[in-house]
Structure 1
Amino acid sequence: MVMADPRRAGVLGERLLARAERERDPAGAAVSLRILGLAARELQDPALAASRLRRSVAVAGRARLPELAALSRMSLALVLNDLGRPNAALAEIGRALSALDGLPLARARMQHGILLRRLGRVDQALAAYTSALAAFRRHDDRLWQARALTNRGVLQAYRGAFAAARADLGRAEQLYRELALPSAAAQAQHNLGFVAAQSGDIVTALTWYDRADEHFRRSGSRPAEALIDRAELLLAARLLPEAHQAAQEAVETAAAARLGTLLPQARLLQAQAALAAGDVAGAREPARLARRAFTRQERGRWAVHAEYLQVRAAPGRRTARLRALADALDAAGWPEQALEARLYAAESGDPAALADLAAVRPGRGTARLRIRACHAQALSRLHQGDLAGARRALRAGLRLLDQYRAALGATELRVLSSAEGGDLAALGVRLAVSERSARQVLAWAERWRAATLRLPPSTPHDDPDLVRELAQLRRVTAELAGDSLDAIRRTRPLQRQRALEDAIRRRTWRTEPGTSPVDTPGSVDEITAGLGDRALVELVEQDGRLLAVVVAGGQVRLCPLVEAAALGPETAALRFAMRRLVLRYGSPASLAAAEAAARHGLRQLDDWLLKPVAGLTGDRDLVVVPTGALQALPWAALPSCGGRPVTVAPSATAWVRGTVNRRTELDERFVLVAAARPDHAIGEVRALAELAPSARLLIGPRATVAATLAAIDGARRVHLAAHGEFRADNPLFSHLDLADGPLTVHDLTTLRRAPDLVVLSACDTGLSAVHPGDELMGLTAALLGAGARTLVASTGPVDDEATRELMLGLHQRLRAGQDPAAALAAAQAAAPVERWATAYSFSCFGSGAA
C-alpha cells in the first residue's frame, strides 16, 4: 500500500502504531514505524522518513528483534542516500546484510545495488541486482522482481545496453500493472523514456515522459528525479527555456524535500542550461554548489562533471585545465562532456589542444556526440594541413545532422536542432573564404541554411486530442479578444491560454517523422542553371562580416559587404519609421521626420547590401537569400529594387526546387477568405471575386478555421484577408484571426496539400523567428514547409485601404499571366506615393512562381 497510496498507508500506520503502543507490542511498533518511514519517503519527505526509521531500528533493537531492525536499516539506508549521506547509507545496509538471510537478504542486496550504482560502482551494482532478481523469482516475489528489473533497467541504460534496458523496464511496468500499482508503473514508463533519451531518441523519450508525467501531475507530486531527467532531455533537444524551467523546478523540489543526492544533480542541470543559453554568469553558482556537494558525498564521477562546468563558467579560457578535465571526464564515463572540453580547449588555437583531437574518432554514441566528433576530426585534419580530410569530416557531420533532424518530426525540434551544425558549417565557409572560392562558399552556406525545408514532411497532425486543444485555444483567445473582461476577470482565461499553448507544444513535439529520404542541398550548377536570366544574392555572415555570394550570367562571385553588427540597429530603426508611417502616429512634423528616417534607412541599407553588387546583378530580376535580422527587411523598398521583381527565399535550394516543382496533385481552385475584421477584408475579397467569379468564397461567419483549412487544402491559389499577429514569444502560435478564433501555425500543419500560391492580406504575416542556420519559424516558414511554392505577406503593419488597392492590382496582374514576384513589383510601383510604406511592406517569399 505504501507504493499504491502512501497517504492512506500513513494513516493506517499511525493507527497500527497507536495500537502497538497501547498493547506494548514492540514488533508491531517497529513495523508500524517502518511503514510510516516508507510512506514519508514516497511523499518526498526524507527527513521525516529518516526520523521514523531510526525510531523503528531503536525499538526493534531494544526488543532484540534483529531481523526487524535489519529490515528498517535497509530502508533507512536508501533514505540516508536520498539525503546525500552515502557513507552512512553504506554502513546501514552493511549492518542489514549481516543480520538477514533468505528473501529478506535478497531484498537488502538489491538495495545495496542501488547505493553502489549511485556511487558509480556499476559492475558491482549489476551483480547485486542480478543475484537479487534470481532470488525473487525463486520465491515468486513479483513486487521485488519489478523493483529489481526497474533498477537493473536504469543501470543498463547508463551502460548503453538499451535493448536489455527496454526489456527489463517493459517487464517491470507489466508487473506493476498486474499488482495494481499505477505510480510504480508510471515510474517504469518514465524510465523507458530515460532509456530512449540515453540512446538519443528524443521523440520516443518525450512520449514516455509525458505519459508518466500525466500520472505524476494527477497525483500532485512530480518526483525530482523525473524533473531532472526531463530537463536533461529538453536540453538535448535545445528547448532551452523549458530545460531551465524544469531544472529550476527540480532544484526547488529536491531542496524542499531535502533530497541531498538529487539536489546537486538538479543544480548541475541548472548550470548546463545556463551555459547552453549563453548565460555564463548564471552557471557559476549552481556549478560551484553542485561540485561542493558531490565532493562531500564522495561522488567523484559527478564532481568532475561539476568542475568542468565551473571551468566553463569561469572568466577566461583555461586551456590546460580543460585538457586535463577532458581526460578525467572520459575516465569517469562522460564522453560527450569530454569531447566538449577538448573542443573548447582547441578553440584557443593551442597546438597541444588541437593535437589532442587526433585521438577522437566518430564512432558509437548518440547522433549529437558523433556530429561533434566529426567537428573535432575536421579541426584535427586542418591542424595537420589535410584540407581535403577536413572537408570530408565536415560533410560527414552535416550528413549526420540531416539524419538527426529527420528523426525529429516536430518543426520546432528540427529548427532548434540545426544549431548542432553551426560550428561545422562555419568552418566549411571559413575554409572556402580563405581559398576565395565563391562556389564553395555558396555550397557550404546551402549545406546548412534552412535545411529543415529539405527534410521529408512530417506526418500531418490528425491527433483528435490536438484538434480538441486547438479548438479550446480558439475559444479562450476569442474570449480574451472581447471587450467585456476587466483585468481581474482576464486572469483565469490567460492562465488557461498559457496552459493550452504549453500542452499543444508538448503534444506536437511527439510528432512522428516522415518516411521519405532526406533531400540533398542544391548543387551550385543546379542553382546557376535554375536562375536563367535572374540574379541571386545570397548573404552569409562569417566572423562578424557580411559577405554576398552573387550568381548572375552563369558566374559565381564573392563580394565582402558591411560589418554584420551594423545591420540590426539600422533594420530596427527602418521598421520603426515605416510602422509610424503606416499607422499615422504623431503630428505632421513627426510623420515628416519618420518619412525622412525611413528614406534614409533604405538608402543606407541599399548602400551596404545591394549597391556593392550592382555591377554583377545589373537590372536582372532578383532572388535574395537573407540572413539574420535581414529576414524582416522590406527588400522591395530598397532603391536598387525599385520596379523590378524581387523574391525573398529561405535558401537558394528552396528557391530553385520551388520554381520547377509545380505540383499536379492540386486542383485549380481559387479560394478567397475574409474574416469580419478588419473592416476592409470582406470588401477586398468581394472585389477580388468580381475578377474571378468561379472562386470559392468564405466570408464573415463562414470563415471558420475548420472551413478555411478544408477549403485551401489542395487548392492552387488562396487569398486570406484578416488580422494577423506574429508571436515573437512563441512563433508557432502566430496566427490569422478568423471567425471562430486564431488560425495558427499549428493548424497549418494539418494541411496535406498546401496551395501553390498563398496571399496573406494582413499585418506582420511575413515575419519569422530566426534561429541558427537561418531556420525560420512563423506563418511563412509553415506554409513553405507544408509545400507552398510562393507566399505574399507583409513584414509590418499595413493600412487597410492601401492594402485593398495593392491586392486588387496584384491579382489583376496574376490573372494576366504574370508570376507573383513580377505582379507584386508592378502593383507596388503603381501604388500612390503617399501609401508607399504599406505597399512595400509586402514581400514575395519562396520561389516567386505559381
Structure 2
Amino acid sequence: MISPTPEECVAALEQMPDAAQQQAFLSQSGVQPSLALVEACSRRIRELCYKDPASAEILANTNLHLASLVDTPTAWALANRSRAQVLYTMRRAAAAAPYFERAVELFTEVGLELEASRTLVTQMDNLIYLSRYDEAAKLESRARATLEKANDVHYLARLETALGNLYYRLDRFQESLAHYDAARPGPDDPFSPAAIGMGRGHVLADMNRFDEAVEAYRTTKRHCQQHGLDLWADIADHGIARMHFLRGNYSTALRMLEETRKKHESRNDSRRVGMVDLERVEIYLQLNLFEDAAAIASRSFDVFDRLGNRYEAAKCLAFLGVARFKLFNDCDAERAFLRAREILAQEGNETWVAVVDLWRARLSMRRRDFPEAQQLARAAADAFERQNVPVWAADAWVLSAQSLHALGESAAAVEDAQRALRGLEGFHAPWVSYQAFNTIGRLRELEGSTEAEELYLRAVSELESLRGNIRLDELRMSFGKDKYEVYENLVNLKLNRGDFASAFDFVERSKSRTLIDLLERNLETVWDSSADESPRLQRVRKIREELNILYSRVNDVASRTRVSVDEVKRREHELMELLREVGEEKSGWATLQSMDLPNVAEVQQMLDVDEVLVEYYSIGDEFQAFVIGADDYHVVRCVTTSRSIRASLRGLHFQLSKFHLEPLYVQRRAMALLAATQHHLQELHLQLIAPLERFLGRRRRLIIVPHQSLHYVPFHALFDGARHLIDVYEMTYAASASVLKICRERRSARSADAQDLILAVADELTPHIRDEAEALRQLLPSALVFTDSEAGEHNLRRYGSSAATIHIAAHGIFRPDNPMFSLLRLGGSWLNLYDIFNLQLGADLITLSACETGMNAVSEGDELLGLSRGFLYAGASSLVVSLWNVNDRSTALLMRRFYEELRNGATKSGALRQAILDVKQDFPHPYYWAPFILLGKS
C-alpha cells in the first residue's frame, strides 16, 4: 500500500469542516506526523490566507496540533508562523503578535535566518496595525540584510510593501509611494501586487490624486480576479466604495459596500464585515438615517470589542453617540460618548478624545449647561491645537464663544471667536468661519454697533461659498440651525431698519438654497451620464466630486492630508468657468446651479395683476409675512408664533388621524369631526391670514410660500367661520419665489402632438385606482395607459420624457426619518428619491395621485426633502401632490373633475379649485377634498 504524500494528506484535511475532524482523521488514518507534513500544511495555509481565510484558520489550528506531535523547533516555528499569518490576514493583529514573536525566536534558534527574516517582514506589517511603528521600523535592517544576501526577490518586494504601509500610517506619503513603486514582486507571486495596489490606492487618495487612486483600486481588483484572490478583490471594492462616499455618491457607495459585506460575511470574516459596517454608519449619518446608524454602530462595536480592536470599537461608540444625539436620546448619547472617551484615553488617542469632548460640549449646550459646554469646548480646542488639527480647533473655539455668549460674557466670547478666525488663516473652511463671523456679529448687534451688518455679510459670504453638494451637513460636524441663523439675523436687522426690500433678498437667499443644495448634493444620482457625454459636462461632475473630498478633508480629524487653499481655489475657479460655459449645452441645469435670485421688483414682474404672493419667514419663534402683488408690497411683522402654529397643527392632525378608525365611527361622528376640524382650521386662519387679509385685496389667485412648520399647513382649507380660502382663491404653493421663477420659466421640450401618460397600480386596499384610471382613459383618449405590473419604472422612463401630462395613481410612502428614501410604488418595484432624480421628464404637469406625495421633511434652514422635489428636478413645471393619506373614492372623483376642467380650458390652479369645490359638495370634510395641492406653475 502506497502512503499518501504530504500534499495529498493536506488535500484530504481540507475536505473536513473543522479542526476537530481533521485531527481525528490524522489519528485514525495512520498518517505519520512529520516535518514534511507540517511544511506542506504551512504552504497550503499561505495560499488559502488571501482566498479563504476561514479555511486557512481551521488548517492552521490543525497544523499547531501536528507540530505538537512532531515536537521539533522547526515544526513549531512553521506552525506558529502559519497561525500568525492567518490572524494577520484577518486583521486580528493583537492575537497574531505572540505567534510572530515565537516563530522568529524558533527560526533563529535553529539557524534558519532566512525564514526568520521572511517572518519579520510580515511581523513588521502586523506591528503597524498595532500602532507600534518604532518597533516595526527597527526590524527592517535585520530583514533586509538577510533577504538581499539571499537575493529573495519575493520577500524583498514584501519588505518594500511593508515599509510603504509604515510610512503611509506615519503620513509620509511621498516616501510611502516610493517604497510601493520600488517593490518588484516576482512573476510567481500573485499576492504582492495585490498588497502594493491597495497601498498605492490609499496613498494616492490621501495625496488628492483621485483618478490615480481609483485606477489603482480597479487595477488591483482586476489582478485579484485573474488570480482567484477574491478576498483582495473585495477589499479593492471597499476602497472604490470609499471614494464614492467621499465624492458624495452615496447610493453607489452603499450598493458596493452591501455587496462587499455579503462576501466577507460568507467567509465568516467578522472584522472586515465590521469595517464595512463602520463605513456604512458614516454614510447613514450623512443621510440622516440615525436609527439605522445607531443599530449598525452598536452591532459593530460588539464585533471590534470581541476582537480587541479598541480604536475601531471606540469609533463605533462615538458614532453611536452622534446618532443618539441626533435622535435627541441625550442620556444614551452621553453614555456612548463617555465610554468611547474612556477607551480612547486609555489608547492615548488625544485627538479623538477631543472629538468626543466636542460632541459632549454640544450636548451640554442643548441642556443649557453653558459652563460645562464652554469648559469642554475650550479643552477640545487646546487638544486640537496640540495635535495640529486647526480646523477642528477653530470649530471648538466657536462653540466656546457661543457658550460664553450664552453666559453673558461678551468680551471673552468675541476673543474666542476671533481666535477661531486666526486659526483658520491659510485654510479653506467656510463652514467654520461663517459661525465665527455670525457669533461676533450677534454680539456687536447687541452692543448697538454698526459693525454687525458687515460681520453678518461676511458670514453669509463664507456660507454661500459652499455650493450645494459640498457637504454642508458634514456628518461629524453638523452645525444645525446655526447655518441659517445668520440669515435670520440679517433679515431682522434689515426689517428693524425699515429696509424691507433688502430683507426680502436675504429671505430668498436662505430659502433658495433648499432646492439648489438638494440638487447639487445628490449630483451622482441626478446626473445621467448616458445622456451627458460632453467632455465639459463630465469635467464639471469630476471637479465637484473632487471638491467634495477636499472640503470634507479640511474638516476631518481622521484625514492625514493638509488641504491647501490654493488646491481648493484652483478647482473652484475651474468649476466656475465651466459653469459659465455649461449653459450652452444644458441651460436648465446651469440655471439651477447658478440662478439669479429674484428681488421684490422681479417677483412683481412675474405676477399677473390678479395674483398675490405671500411668503412667510420665521425669525426666532415669530413669523413675518411678505405680501407681494404686481403693483404693491407689504411686510407684516410678528404675524404669529411657531409655538401657536404647532399647537393648532397638532389638533388638526389629530382630527385627520381619526379617519383611520373604523368607517362606522367616522360615519356616525361626521358632524362632530367636521366641527372639530374646522375649529383648528379657523385657529390657523386667525393666525396666518387674518393679520394680512387687508393686503390681499380682490385678487383671485393666491400663491403661498411657507416656511418651516407652515409647510404642513393646508392653507387652501383655512376657515374664517364661513368660507375656506379655496372658496375665494385659486391657490398654488412654492418652496420659494426663486423656485417658482424656475418653474414658470421652464419651457417644455415635448412636441405639439405629445401623448399623455397614465400609470395606475391598484390593490385590494385601493380598488378605486382602477376606476380613476378608466375615467382618465375616457377623458384623455390619446393617452398611453399602463396598469399594475405594466405601470413600472421602465415605462415611466421610456415615455415620460416626451409626455405632455403624467398621471401616477399608486401607493406613496413618506419617510420622515429619511425623506431621500420616501417611496412611490410603480409596477412591482418602489421608486425612491434617488431613482426619481435620474428621470428625465418633459411633462408640463405631473400628478401624483397617492398618499403623502407632497409631504416634505422640514429641517433647520427650511431645507425640504420629499418626492415632490425629485419630480421638480426631473423636469416638472407643475405638480399636483397630496399632504396626507388620501381617500380612494373621493380622490378618484377629484381627479376626474380636475382633468375635465383642464380639458375644458381651465388653468391648472383653476381646474384644481373647481374639482375641490365639486368634491366638497359630496364630501364636506376637508379630509376628503383638501389633501391635494398644486406646486409650481399655475
TM-score (norm 1): 0.79
Contact 1:93 1:108 in 2 (8 A): no
Deviation digits for residues 466-501 of structure 1 (CA, Å, limit 9, x no counterpart) = xxxxxxxxxxxxxxxxxxxxxxxxxxxxxxxxxxxx
Aligned-pair distance for 1:377?
4.2
> Which residue of structure 1 lines up, in the alignment, with residue 304 of structure 2?
254
| 1:161-240 matches, cutoff 5 A | 180-194=228-242, 212-213=260-261, 215-221=263-269, 222-236=272-286, 238-240=288-290
* Secondary structure, aligned partner of 2:184: helix
Deviation digits for residues 1-29 of structure 1 (CA, Å, limit 9, x no counterpart) = 22233234345545655555555542232
Measured in 2, the distance between the counterparts of 1:737 and 1:787 equals 20
Measured in 2, the distance between the counterparts of 1:418 and 1:10 equals 41
Q: Are residues 12 and 401 of structure 1, via their aligned partners in 2, closer, same or farther at CA, if it must alter by over 3 Å?
A: same
Contact 1:450 1:774 in 2 (8 A): no
Moved more, 643-652 or 669-678: 669-678
Amino acid at match of 1:829: L
* Secondary structure, aligned partner of 1:137: coil
> Which residue of structure 2 lines up, in the alignment, with residue 41 of structure 1?
88
Amino acid at match of 1:526: E
Measured in 2, the distance between the counterparts of 1:684 and 1:419 equals 45
Amino acid at match of 2:755: R
Q: Are residues 303 and 154 of structure 1, via their aligned partners in 2, closer, same or farther at CA, if it must alter by over 3 Å?
A: farther
Measured in 1, the distance between the counterparts of 2:867 and 2:240 equals 35
Measured in 1, the distance between the counterparts of 2:104 and 2:702 equals 82
Measured in 2, the distance between the counterparts of 1:12 and 1:556 equals 82
Measured in 2, the distance between the counterparts of 1:531 and 1:71 equals 80
**Match among 22, 28, 43 for residue 75 of structure 2:** 28
Deviation digits for residues 625-661 of structure 1 (CA, Å, limit 9, x no counterpart) = 1233432322211125133111121222222332343
Contact 1:529 1:554 in 2 (8 A): no
Measured in 1, the distance between the counterparts of 2:850 and 2:603 equals 32
Contact 2:163 2:179 in 1 (8 A): no
> Which residue of structure 2 lines up, in the alignment, with residue 573 of structure 1?
651
Aligned-pair distance for 1:778?
3.4
Q: Are residues 721 and 153 of structure 1, via their aligned partners in 2, closer, same or farther at CA, if it must alter by over 3 Å?
A: closer
Aligned-pair distance for 1:114?
5.1
> Which residue of structure 1 lines up, in the alignment, with residue 422 of structure 2?
359
> Which residue of structure 2 lines up, in the alignment, with residue 7 of structure 1?
54
Q: Are residues 134 and 160 of structure 1, via their aligned partners in 2, closer, same or farther at CA, if it must alter by over 3 Å?
A: closer
Amino acid at match of 2:431: I
Is 1:345 the equivalent of 2:405?
no
Is 1:530 the equivalent of 2:530?
no
Contact 1:547 1:558 in 2 (8 A): yes
Q: Are residues 767 and 166 of structure 1, via their aligned partners in 2, closer, same or farther at CA, if it must alter by over 3 Å?
A: closer
Q: Are residues 404 and 99 of structure 1, via their aligned partners in 2, closer, same or farther at CA, if it must alter by over 3 Å?
A: closer
Aligned-pair distance for 1:612?
1.1
Measured in 1, the distance between the counterparts of 2:182 and 2:775 equals 82
Aligned-pair distance for 1:847?
2.2
Aligned-pair distance for 1:460?
6.2
* Secondary structure, aligned partner of 2:716: helix
Moved more, 196-205 or 421-430: 196-205
Deviation digits for residues 322-363 of structure 1 (CA, Å, limit 9, x no counterpart) = 235324314424344323212212223222222223315476
Q: Are residues 46 and 359 of structure 1, via their aligned partners in 2, closer, same or farther at CA, if it must alter by over 3 Å?
A: closer
| 1:49-128 matches, cutoff 5 A | 49-57=96-104, 59-60=106-107, 63=110, 65=112, 68=115, 72=119, 75=122, 86=131, 90-91=134-135, 94=138, 101-103=145-147, 111=162, 121-123=170-172, 127=175
Is 1:658 the equivalent of 2:720?
no
Amino acid at match of 1:446: E
Is 1:802 the equivalent of 2:890?
yes
Contact 1:330 1:338 in 2 (8 A): yes
Contact 1:270 1:283 in 2 (8 A): yes
> Which residue of structure 2 lines up, in the alignment, with residue 594 of structure 1?
673
Measured in 2, the distance between the counterparts of 1:573 and 1:163 equals 55
**Match among 866, 869, 883 for residue 781 of structure 1:** 869
> RMSD of aligned C-alpha atoms?
4.3
Is 1:562 the equivalent of 2:625?
no
Measured in 2, the distance between the counterparts of 1:198 and 1:792 equals 36
Is 1:428 the equivalent of 2:487?
yes
* Secondary structure, aligned partner of 1:845: strand
> Which residue of structure 1 lines up, in the alignment, with residue 319 of structure 2?
269
Measured in 2, the distance between the counterparts of 1:224 and 1:214 equals 12
Measured in 2, the distance between the counterparts of 1:43 and 1:605 equals 62
Measured in 2, the distance between the counterparts of 1:701 and 1:173 equals 38
> Which residue of structure 2 lines up, in the alignment, with residue 643 of structure 1?
728
Q: How many residues are treated as equivalent by the alignment?
A: 785
**Match among 610, 619, 622 for residue 545 of structure 1:** 622
Aligned-pair distance for 1:530?
1.3
Aligned-pair distance for 1:624?
0.8
Q: Are residues 42 and 432 of structure 1, via their aligned partners in 2, closer, same or farther at CA, if it must alter by over 3 Å?
A: same
Amino acid at match of 1:345: S
Measured in 2, the distance between the counterparts of 1:307 and 1:561 equals 41
Q: Are residues 389 and 165 of structure 1, via their aligned partners in 2, closer, same or farther at CA, if it must alter by over 3 Å?
A: farther
* Same amino acid, percent of matched pairs: 22
Q: Are residues 168 and 303 of structure 1, via their aligned partners in 2, closer, same or farther at CA, if it must alter by over 3 Å?
A: farther
> Which residue of structure 2 lines up, in the alignment, with residue 448 of structure 1?
510
Measured in 2, the distance between the counterparts of 1:164 and 1:333 equals 28
Measured in 1, the distance between the counterparts of 2:476 and 2:899 equals 39
Measured in 2, the distance between the counterparts of 1:359 and 1:219 equals 51
* Secondary structure, aligned partner of 1:639: coil
Measured in 1, the distance between the counterparts of 2:824 and 2:222 equals 46
Measured in 1, the distance between the counterparts of 2:667 and 2:247 equals 63
Is 1:841 the equivalent of 2:900?
no
Aligned-pair distance for 1:781?
2.6
Measured in 1, the distance between the counterparts of 2:823 and 2:502 equals 38
Contact 1:38 1:49 in 2 (8 A): yes
Contact 2:492 2:503 in 1 (8 A): yes
Aligned-pair distance for 1:77?
6.3
Measured in 1, the distance between the counterparts of 2:870 and 2:804 equals 17
Measured in 1, the distance between the counterparts of 2:927 and 2:67 equals 84
* Secondary structure, aligned partner of 2:624: strand
> Which residue of structure 1 lines up, in the alignment, with residue 714 of structure 2?
634
* Secondary structure, aligned partner of 1:435: helix
Where relative contact order (Cα < 8 A, 6+ residues apart) is larger, the structure is 1
Contact 2:288 2:817 in 1 (8 A): no
| 1:414-493 matches, cutoff 5 A | 422-436=481-495, 437-449=499-511, 451=513, 453-454=515-516, 455=519
* Secondary structure, aligned partner of 2:635: strand
Aligned-pair distance for 1:547?
2.4
Amino acid at match of 2:632: G
* Secondary structure, aligned partner of 2:932: strand
Q: Are residues 692 and 20 of structure 1, via their aligned partners in 2, closer, same or farther at CA, if it must alter by over 3 Å?
A: closer
Is 1:670 the equivalent of 2:746?
no
Amino acid at match of 1:5: D
Moved more, 831-840 or 523-532: 831-840
* Secondary structure, aligned partner of 2:638: strand
Contact 1:31 1:68 in 2 (8 A): no
> Which residue of structure 2 lines up, in the alignment, with residue 718 of structure 1?
806
Contact 1:577 1:597 in 2 (8 A): yes
Amino acid at match of 2:719: P
Contact 1:578 1:595 in 2 (8 A): no
Is 1:376 the equivalent of 2:431?
no
Deviation digits for residues 33-68 of structure 1 (CA, Å, limit 9, x no counterpart) = 111122123335456534533543454465465665
Moved more, 696-705 or 181-190: 696-705
Aligned-pair distance for 1:602?
0.4
Gaps of 5+ in 2: 1-46, 148-154, 406-412, 445-449, 531-581
* Secondary structure, aligned partner of 2:469: helix
> Which residue of structure 2 lines up, in the alignment, with residue 476 of structure 1?
none
Q: Are residues 430 and 299 of structure 1, via their aligned partners in 2, closer, same or farther at CA, if it must alter by over 3 Å?
A: closer
